[in-house]
Amino acid sequence: MTEESEIEKTGSESAGNGPLTQELLAKMDAYWRAANYLSVGQIYLKDNPLLERPTTLDDVKPRLLGHWGTTPGLNFLYVHWNRLIRERDLNMIFVIGPGHGGPGLVANTYLEGSYSEIYPHIEQNKDGIKRLFKQFSWPYGIPSHVAPETPGSIHEGGELGYSLVHAYGAAFDNPDLIVACVVGDGEAETGPLATSWHSNKFLNPATDGAVLPILHLNGYKIANPTILARIPHAELEDLMRGYGYEPFTLEGDDPAVLHQQAAGVFDTMLDRIAAIQKAAREDGSTARPAWPMLILRTPKGWTGPKFVDGKPVENTWRAHQVPLDGLFQNPEHLRQLDEWMRSYKPEELFNEKGHFRADLAEIAPKGRRRMGMNAHANGGLLLKPLNVPNFRDFAVKIEGRGAKDVESTRVLGHLLHAVMQANKDTKNFRVFGPDETASNRLQDVITGTGKAWMAETLPVDENLSETGHVMEVLSEHMCQGWLEGYLLTGRHGFFSCYEAFIHIIDSMANQHAKWLKVTRGIPWRKPIASLNYLLSSLVWRQDHNGFSHQDPGFIDHLLNKKADVVRIYLPADANTLLSVSDHCLRSRNYINLIVAGKQPAPQWLTIDEAVAHCTTGLGIWPWASNDDGGPEVVMACCGDVPTMEALAAVMLLRERVPDLRIRVVNVVDLMTLQPQSEHPHGLPDEEFDQVFPVGVPVIFAFHGYPWVIHRLTYRRHNHDNIHVRGYKEEGTTTTPFDMCVLNNIDRFQLALDATMRVPRLKPQADAAEQWYSEQIQRHRLYVAENGDDLPDVKNWRWIGSPTANKSNSQSGEVPAGESSAGEDVAM
Ligand SMILES: Cc1ncc(C[n+]2csc(CCOP(=O)(O)OP(=O)(O)O)c2C)c(N)n1
Ligand SMILES: [Mg+2]
């Protein structure tokens, strides 16, 4: 149990070796006891909040849920941050890796007053404390973690590993901010956390804020010791030095000693930070600094029960969750709980009305300086709209449908470059990528800003810059985590990644989606900018890499998320990509997924058509259709390569069955396929039925796994007639068209599918199958012999049909590829 009463007795004279007077030390310790008391109370009690009577089973929650072990350490840090904020007028937020210590953060934000201001029913009195206790891990109450509901948090900490990378993301472009970040020693074993230490090679002391990492070495995880606690201390310090930090250490379990030591160490660390920033900001130093970090060795479950049932608990893994359980079966545990809670001397901390002692409350910071009220932890409050130049200025000129090939993502790179330049002064836009920004053909964005880099540079390097706003590191985890931290503190960003490897951050995307979902129900959390993904280097065009790089499943992954959080776009060409990207960059509180190829590919829509098409999300392409309102087959497509194959299939069908009435439908916003009841973008059934008339077969060429389309459309009236071709895990390093053939999404297959599905063409079935076999045979022989696609495939161009629909005014404007030379219809 604690030594705090000893501290209180020793009066107000100076407390020897350290910055704290005895009076302040005593107050800080009492404050810490109050936070610990409120933390234990939240885990255990639903009544008797001030322990006015002996604790009985009636006071205890029926289900004891929460985590004690990490909490006293977090509370210790919080009270010390409070002193530093006050004395140095710091702008500080606290990122908690072991977010399972939620009770500690709730307790501290309550003690500083933030909690009651945000949640007025949790008053600063006995009733308020009772409600504070009861709501914790209670049905319809608050979660046990440092969740979105917790004031001052940008990080749940539920899934371990991301605290440090979030902290750095928050610090970028926030020169006045200090982000204290506690990393659990178990959390430190995760891959993302292990690599996050390297973020210091990207943090510019002149233009960014500071991160103050605390490695919380309480020795244990849930059931095991931690690696870093069981290697020699010198080795651990060397590890931190190797990561480029200046390690400090604090160790002990005697609060009287440790408070004083901690204050001294923290003063030194903050002096170091101030000196580093001064050197960079005033003295022009460009050296990469060794930022201070702390190794904090305190017992897990510090101040809790030392032994339970004869077994050690404090300073062991047994303290992780609820040190005393089975209270209803075990009166001794109930007695121990009562003793434990009284050890904090609540009667000295709260008066009989439940008001926190005024002289203790006053040592907390005031107003927005309180960590529970810091606007950076509610980034929407600080969000300035992104300045997005007119995307039409970057439009591709359509000189005939499909007439020329363009790298769509390169066009997007022009827009992103303009966005970067337009927001240069506000410094609130960064582009993130795992070493692939140029590979994904977005390299234009780098011009004029450069790639952030604080490590050594060599003459051979290009575009590395201490102030660069393009973030490249070969860690999808770091890209994602930095971006999340950046967005959560009220800025904007864009993440481009190879399609197959975005799966590395599946789990982080889950957590961000959950955060967004919950914040939508919390009025005081203001909307933040959306998390925008561009997936390029797509499954269909892995010419260099093959099977390992072929996986379009991130679409499936995001589809599982709450409909009001996720948007998925598959623009078929550069102009639709521009329109979609403009929309995504301006949006709020979404996860936007854009899937677009980087290889030269035909361009279909003028910019006006693209805007109109993206606005509805899916639509008939009249210039490619000849159904005049009554299709016999719908050729649907979603994604750039499938769109090209579908159009090529249309041309084959025109040759083989000239009178077949074909409708071409392109889908750019995948969510339009879902019923409106499932997703806000879902097309109403009547409109869907107009596009996909009941009874008419639909041959659907889809970029990703085919069942995605079935999953989205299974409630649609025409679902039985929707036949989907997509990626089915067939792949290797082969020609682009052979990839399509291997997965049966090629033009020959799609044309065959159409023939086989239209009832009146039944008599042609045998001949069609024969024709299909011949084409595939021809293809296989050619690619095997020549290592390249058939000339008629490779050089294929769209040729407009004289019988194309005339019903849509746009349809006649743009000539087909072959007859279009020189014509320019773009804006
Ligand atoms: C990625 C991930 N894996 C596993 C868990 C389950 N888990 C919750 S707490 C915990 C132990 C954490 O230990 P540590 O980081 O040392 O925190 P502390 O000791 O401060 O509680 C584990 C494994 C998790 N939350 N996240
Ligand atoms: Mg631990």
What are the CA-CA distances from residue 94 to residues 143, 682, 798 (Å)?
19, 40, 58
Angle at 553 between CA 549 and CA 559, to 5 degrees: 155
The strand ranges marked E within 239-393 are 245-251, 291-297, 307-308, 311-312
pLDDT tens digits, 473-512:
999 999 999 999 999 999 999 999 999 999 999 999 999 9
Determine the Cα–Cα distance for residues 12 and 533; give it in Å rounded to an integer. Answer: 57
Q: How many helices (H) and strands (E) does the chain have?
A: 26, 22
Question: In which band, very low, low, confident or very high, does the pLDDT at 655 lie, cut at 50, 70 and 90?
Answer: very high
Two structure tokens written together for 438: 């140029």
Q: How far is the CA of 229 from the centre of ligand 1 (A)?
A: 15
pLDDT for 337 beyond 80: yes
Q: Are strands 618-620 and 591-595 parallel, antiparallel or unpaired?
A: unpaired
Q: Are strands 291-297 and 210-216 parallel, antiparallel or unpaired?
A: parallel
Q: Which of these, 73, 64, 99, lies nearest to 511 by C-alpha position? A: 99
Identify which of 105, 187, 297 to mutate to test ligand 1's pocket (most ligand atoms within 8 A of the CB). Answer: 187
Identify which of 76, 160, 322 to mutate to test ligand 1's pocket (most ligand atoms within 8 A of the CB). Answer: 160
pLDDT tens digits, 716-757:
999 999 999 999 999 999 999 999 999 999 999 999 999 999
Q: Which residue has the tokens 């693209």?
A: 610
Any ligand 1 atom below 6 A from CB of 189? no
Q: What pLDDT shows up at residue 806? A: 65
| Core vs surface per residue 781-799: b (16+ CB within 10 A) or e | ebbeeeeebbeebeebbbb
pTM of the model: 0.95
pLDDT for 801 beyond 90: no
Lowest mean per-residue pLDDT among 29-33, 215-219, 466-470, 811-815:
811-815
Q: What is the mean pLDDT of residues 637-642?
A: 98
Any ligand 1 atom below 6 A from CB of 70? yes
Q: What pLDDT shows up at residue 817? A: 57
Q: What is the mean pLDDT of the chain?
A: 94
Determine the Cα–Cα distance for residues 175 and 184; give it in Å rounded to an integer. Answer: 26
pLDDT for 399 beyond 90: no
Q: What is the mean pLDDT of residues 389-416?
A: 96
Q: Which residue has the tokens 């604690």?
A: 2
* Residues 419/425/430/435 CA torsion (nearest 10 deg): 90
Question: In which band, very low, low, confident or very high, does the pLDDT at 803 lie, cut at 50, 70 and 90?
Answer: confident
Rounded to 10 deg, the angle between the 331-342 and 22-44 helix axes is 150
Q: How far is the CA of 35 from the centre of ligand 1 (A)?
A: 22
Contacts of 375 (CB under 8 A, 6+ apart): 368, 381, 382, 490
Q: Concatenate the DSSP letters of all residues of 29-75 into one string.
A: HHHHHHHHHHHHHHHHBSS-TT--S---GGGB-SS--S--TTHHHHH
Q: What pLDDT shows up at residue 10? A: 43
Rounded to 10 deg, the angle between the 408-422 and 574-586 helix axes is 30
Rounded to 10 deg, the angle between the 22-44 and 126-135 helix axes is 50
Lowest mean per-residue pLDDT among 440-444, 458-462, 479-483:
440-444
Angle at 371 between CA 366 and CA 373, to 5 degrees: 70
- Which ligand approaches the C-alpha of residue 218 most closely? 2
Lowest mean per-residue pLDDT among 58-67, 184-193, 676-685, 808-817:
808-817
Any ligand 1 atom below 6 A from CB of 477? no
Identify which of 70, 221, 295 to mutate to test ligand 1's pocket (most ligand atoms within 8 A of the CB). Answer: 221
Determine the Cα–Cα distance for residues 759 and 754; give it in Å rounded to an integer. Answer: 10
Q: Within a 13 Å sphere around the CA of 488, how many CA atoms are in the beta-carbon half?
A: 30
The most confident of the ranges 188-192, 545-549, 561-565 is: 188-192
Q: Are 369 and 85 in contact (CB under 8 A)?
A: yes
